[in-house]
Structure 1
Amino acid sequence: MTPTLGCRPAWARDAVFYQIFPDRFARSERVAKPSNVRTWSSPPTPQGYHGGDLWGIIEHLDHLVDLGINAVYLTPIFQSACNHRYHTHDYYQVDPMLGGNEALRSLITAAHARRIRIVLDGVFNHASRGFFQFHDILENGPDSAWLDWFHIHAWPLVPYDGGRPANYTSWVNNRALPKFNTDNPAVREYLMQVGEYWIREYDIDGWRLDVPVDIRTPGFWEEFRSRTRALKPDLYLVGEIWREAADWLRGDRFDATMNYEFAAAAIAFAGGDRVSKALVSNRSYRPFPGTDAAGYAQRIEQLQSAYGWETTLVQFNLLASHDAPRVVSIARGDKATLRLATLLQMTYPGAPCIYYGDEIALRGAKRYDRPHRDPDARWPFPWHDTSSWDRAMLGYFRELIALRHACPALRSGAFHQLHAKGQQYVCLRRDDSDTLLVAVNAAESPAELRVPVSPHLVDGQPLAAVFGSETHATVAGQHVQLPVPARSGAIWRAIRQ
């Protein structure tokens, strides 16, 4: 595949994202907290607050810089009555518990000074029971001035009693989330202006857009892209679509999707039969059953064929998120699965995203025999207990990210799959000045891989180990021998002669 660049933001090719769930990342003394906030180290619950805030993120930006992060995706930050803030009360007000609008402005200023971009989460399909216009309907019934902002079917509205009909449309029948009537021009204009406001007034760098497929109003997302891009031509737009979604990435709506299809393939290969089907059975992606290298390579080929190179270069490639179990949990506690999947992620074209805490192997679900529960992937970051950090994992992430930044070929170079047999996989990344081989051995025993490298490399050409190995290699007979220990991976760089 030959690298090209079109209407997608060029900076996304070079981005390494870090996803932050604000209530659980860091808590600052600058923001006064209500008395019933949970202690920081206590187990997360579906509705409890731990009191993380945006000032806390500012105070720990150096951790992100040290890790090699240059882009942050924040889950929703607008005023809300839930810890994840997908139930928006006010689209123009950052939640006071997070520090308010001043904290966001300070965060963006501090992040931009460190060359870190900020992407916000936009929830425009539905609001909340506390959203002013919907609350007005609850208070005034048929006399409300805002009836046509939502889908009202009968009276009275029943927003809390699950034993009676709600009488209004809500997202996935969750009556806490009344669905906007985006066919109403006034609603549509309101949401467009929200999208524009945070770009114009706060200089955000992108939007991650929640459940976009559920907004079926023709032209909605095309207009959103046109209007927001008019304000910031390199704005990054990511749609939360779990399936293969090439039809959404034709240049008229989004630049990328949350690439759960890549995550599923990488985890299925890296984890193999360790993957807990029960844990992910209630999610919208399928990192099961475990697959071999050939199965992984085939899925990668399908994804690249579906999206094309230009889109592949800026896809949002995650392995975990607030909506999915952590990789170590999916693999029943096996940390090697996280290391291998991360090696695949960081050497694949697109923008990799680390879910907060994965770099220290932050705990997730401890029971693997039942469906995932969201709080299990939302533990607070243990700043107070650095002894709990997996320092080896942190070093692994740092070294791998640093190599990605140092090697343009790993970000935007051509991509070729050279070897996919059994549990061993090798790909090549190449640009005009650099060639790298990435080898992964997902098996329980060491492997000596004989990899065909013609026409990319020539006989006699040496390769220097640059990650995960100290053994160098030389091309002979149009092949190269790569020794890879069990459950590990390595990267070699071709030496030009």
Structure 2
Amino acid sequence: MEKSAVFHRPGDNFSYLIEDRTIQIRLKTKKSNIKSVKLIIGDPYIWEDGEWQFSELPMTLVSKDDLFDYWEVDVFVETRRLRYGFKLASVDEEAIFTEKGFFNTAPVDSDYYFCFPYLHKQEIFNAPDWVKDTVWYQIFPERFANGDPSINPKNVRQWNSEPPAINNFFGGDFTGITENLEHLTDIGVNGIYLTPVFKAFSNHKYDTIDYMEIDPQFGDSESLKKLISECHNRGIRVMLDAVFNHSGYYFPPFQDVIKNGENSPYKDWFHIHDFPVQGGQKPNYEAFAFVDSMPKLNTANPEVKKYLLDVGMYWIKEFDIDGWRLDVANEVDHEFWREFRTAVKEVKKDVYILGEIWHDSMPWLRGDQFDGVMNYPFKTNVLNLLAKNNITSIQFMENISKVYYSYPKNIFDYTFNLVGSHDTPRILTECNDDINRTKQVYTILLTFMGSPCIYYGDEIGMTGDLDPGCRKCMDWNTENHDSELKEHIRALISLRKKEKLLANDGSVRFLFPEVENGIFGYRKFNNNKSVIILLNPSITKQAFPLEKHINYQVLYSSEIEMEPSEINLGPDGFCILSYSH
């Protein structure tokens, strides 16, 4: 038994409340090293004859990655208090694992065991329930549609008349979005994520000049209110994007510091090393990366904090937005985000708070800061398998298991899953214009755990390399649309809405390939029903075993052949099956 590989800690992704009196407990062990695990459980205050009283509950081997196995069990706790440990068995050894280490026999003192002191219902991870059923659509406002030419910025280009560049403008605006909402409802989208709309210098608007003012090239208060109202009438939520880590170069307080130096009342709004303020390749002030046009804000400063918290509340109060996507969220202090959550939730209890974090995000997801984060590891692994072909399906399943079990289940349900954005090549381009591979990518995106997002234009087969190539004007000429891809996405969204197991109901088990690059997938299930998603990443037809005597129903698929004991998927194929228990 490889004891050094056995790992558990109370809290975070290893023990957490999922219902009022139910906790989910996980254990990690060396891959293929442990044959069985039982959970030792009991109330810390129930003793008889000087010995702690406990029972045992078998744990299930739920998944694995390249190094570890993952074990899991749900525990109903009648008394709301719990002490627990683990009984492990390998081929030739048994051991008891507790908070104080390993023992040959179970200690009779409850103080030796891991502790869940009390199950407080209010400590269940609490994010807006509507997010689990939302399919997002990311819009880069400058490039979606020009509905009001009268507010075009200076030197505007004719729509789609030239390739996108870092400094050209085509006049996209709120009216253009409002006029094209039927395109979104047609494919089934019920959430819009807008990149920044505040007054800014650039076409991407991540260099904010005024957080309280709409950029005039997009419209005014009335046109934004109309957009949000029309969205809400269609059952579409709206999420805005904000950059609280840094401002733009022309943010008035920063301009005041440039002008007045140490005498500026705003000098402590930023992290200035010395005066006078100097930009360049390595500015003498903190900035996003070393970009001198994006000076970092001092969110510990009370005045800055009040200003930004007022911003967070203002757009909810005045425009009834449904969510905040927070740029470079990991570089802002945790205390600010705690206060931000309190402030905006007091205005709108079910507002969604989404952080842009590319790495392990558990410190931001303990219920006191964000409701979700952008799931870039999901994107990376999906594209590595299906677009770049640099990992096998076995490696994909190992990697995605590691990602999934890094978070509690009831947190992962609210993650923001994406495969493309304004910062990445378009998905069809990533897939080398292979429509079948692209359809596989969307099959995973729209059936996986979490809240999926489609980047504008990807649903009609638009192409483009890295920024600025991925920021082309939306092509409204339907003759240029890839109807096969659009219909595939429409079908998946429709199916997701009808079959809640394809959204975030129930539990999940990963289905590992039987051969190196074989068919893989996952089973999503509850007490009554299972739904299986299968994909063939190979260029040859492959088979996947099925259980006999089960009446499988095909919900949606590419070309397949069903037999009593297996299913055959064609090259780059997919299949969604269901059956009742």
TM over 0.5, yes or no? yes
The corresponding residue for 1:487 is 572
Matches within 5 A, 1:144-183: 144-159=264-279, 162=280, 166-183=283-300
Once the 2 structures are TM-superposed, how far is the Cα of residue 309 of structure 1 from its aligned partner? 0.5
| Aligned-partner Cα distance in 2 for 1:145–1:59 | 44
| Aligned-partner Cα distance in 2 for 1:311–1:380 | 35
Q: 1:258 aligns with which of 353, 370, 374?
A: 374
2:526 counterpart letter in structure 1: D
The corresponding residue for 1:297 is 397
The corresponding residue for 2:307 is 190
2:185 counterpart letter in structure 1: V
For the 8 Å contact 1:360–1:394, the answer to whether it is kept is yes
The corresponding residue for 2:409 is 309
**Inter-CA distance 267–116: structure 2 relative to 1 (3 Å threshold):** same
* Rg (Cα) greater in structure: 2
| Aligned-partner Cα distance in 2 for 1:297–1:223 | 38
3-state SS of paired residue (1:439): strand
The corresponding residue for 1:16 is 135
For the 8 Å contact 1:265–1:296, the answer to whether it is kept is yes
For the 8 Å contact 1:297–1:417, the answer to whether it is kept is yes
The corresponding residue for 2:550 is 461
Per-residue CA distance 1:428-464 (angstroms, 9 max, x = gap): 112344321111001001112214x5xxxxx422112
Once the 2 structures are TM-superposed, how far is the Cα of residue 272 of structure 1 from its aligned partner? 4.5
1:318 counterpart letter in structure 2: L
Stretches of structure 1 that go unaligned for 5 or more consecutive residues are 274-289, 366-371, 454-458
1:352 counterpart letter in structure 2: P
For the 8 Å contact 1:148–1:181, the answer to whether it is kept is yes
Residue 398 of structure 1 pairs with residue 490 of structure 2: yes
| Aligned-partner Cα distance in 1 for 2:524–2:225 | 39
3-state SS of paired residue (1:306): coil
3-state SS of paired residue (2:300): coil
The corresponding residue for 2:179 is 59
For the 8 Å contact 2:151–2:218, the answer to whether it is kept is no
Once the 2 structures are TM-superposed, how far is the Cα of residue 312 of structure 1 from its aligned partner? 1.1
1:238 counterpart letter in structure 2: L
**Larger RCO: 1 or 2 (CA < 8 Å, sep 6+):** 1
CA RMSD of aligned residues (A): 2.0
Once the 2 structures are TM-superposed, how far is the Cα of residue 353 of structure 1 from its aligned partner? 0.5
**Inter-CA distance 121–139: structure 2 relative to 1 (3 Å threshold):** same
3-state SS of paired residue (1:317): strand
| Aligned-partner Cα distance in 1 for 2:263–2:361 | 42
1:481 counterpart letter in structure 2: E
The corresponding residue for 2:238 is 118
For the 8 Å contact 2:149–2:171, the answer to whether it is kept is no
The corresponding residue for 2:336 is 220
For the 8 Å contact 2:519–2:543, the answer to whether it is kept is no
Once the 2 structures are TM-superposed, how far is the Cα of residue 21 of structure 1 from its aligned partner? 0.6
Question: TM-score, structure 2 length as denominator?
Answer: 0.75
The corresponding residue for 1:379 is 472
Matches within 5 A, 1:80-119: 80-119=200-239
Per-residue CA distance 1:380-412 (angstroms, 9 max, x = gap): 1111x2222111110111011111111011112
After superposing the two structures, state which structure 1 stretch, 131-140 or 342-351, moved more.
131-140
Residue 244 of structure 1 pairs with residue 244 of structure 2: no
After superposing the two structures, state which structure 1 stretch, 201-210 or 431-440, moved more.
431-440
The corresponding residue for 1:434 is 529
For the 8 Å contact 1:3–1:413, the answer to whether it is kept is no
| Aligned-partner Cα distance in 2 for 1:34–1:108 | 23
Once the 2 structures are TM-superposed, how far is the Cα of residue 345 of structure 1 from its aligned partner? 1.3
For the 8 Å contact 1:67–1:397, the answer to whether it is kept is yes
**Inter-CA distance 437–402: structure 2 relative to 1 (3 Å threshold):** same
Stretches of structure 2 that go unaligned for 5 or more consecutive residues are 1-12, 20-123
2:569 counterpart letter in structure 1: V
After superposing the two structures, state which structure 1 stretch, 296-305 or 24-33, moved more.
24-33
| Aligned-partner Cα distance in 2 for 1:138–1:294 | 55
| Aligned-partner Cα distance in 2 for 1:465–1:323 | 36
**Inter-CA distance 31–420: structure 2 relative to 1 (3 Å threshold):** farther
3-state SS of paired residue (1:420): coil
**Inter-CA distance 294–149: structure 2 relative to 1 (3 Å threshold):** same
For the 8 Å contact 2:156–2:171, the answer to whether it is kept is yes
Once the 2 structures are TM-superposed, how far is the Cα of residue 414 of structure 1 from its aligned partner? 1.5
| Aligned-partner Cα distance in 2 for 1:103–1:271 | 39
After superposing the two structures, state which structure 1 stretch, 239-248 or 347-356, moved more.
239-248
Residue 29 of structure 1 pairs with residue 148 of structure 2: yes
3-state SS of paired residue (2:452): strand
**Inter-CA distance 61–223: structure 2 relative to 1 (3 Å threshold):** same
Aligned length, in residue pairs: 458
Matches within 5 A, 1:298-337: 298-337=398-437
Once the 2 structures are TM-superposed, how far is the Cα of residue 335 of structure 1 from its aligned partner? 2.9
The structure whose residues are more often helix, as a share, is 1
Once the 2 structures are TM-superposed, how far is the Cα of residue 469 of structure 1 from its aligned partner? 4.3
For the 8 Å contact 2:374–2:415, the answer to whether it is kept is yes
The corresponding residue for 1:351 is 451
1:430 counterpart letter in structure 2: F
Per-residue CA distance 1:2-46 (angstroms, 9 max, x = gap): 976741111111110111111111111364213411221120001
Question: TM-score, structure 1 length as denominator?
Answer: 0.88
Residue 364 of structure 1 pairs with residue 459 of structure 2: no
The structure whose residues are more often strand, as a share, is 2
Between the aligned residues of both structures, percent identity stands at 36
For the 8 Å contact 1:31–1:99, the answer to whether it is kept is no
**Inter-CA distance 35–199: structure 2 relative to 1 (3 Å threshold):** closer
| Aligned-partner Cα distance in 2 for 1:471–1:423 | 15
For the 8 Å contact 1:325–1:377, the answer to whether it is kept is yes
For the 8 Å contact 1:150–1:180, the answer to whether it is kept is yes
For the 8 Å contact 1:199–1:205, the answer to whether it is kept is yes
2:158 counterpart letter in structure 1: T
Residue 425 of structure 1 pairs with residue 525 of structure 2: no
Residue 415 of structure 1 pairs with residue 415 of structure 2: no
Per-residue CA distance 1:115-171 (angstroms, 9 max, x = gap): 100111110011112111112222333332211111223333234xx37x6332221
3-state SS of paired residue (2:552): strand
For the 8 Å contact 2:309–2:340, the answer to whether it is kept is yes
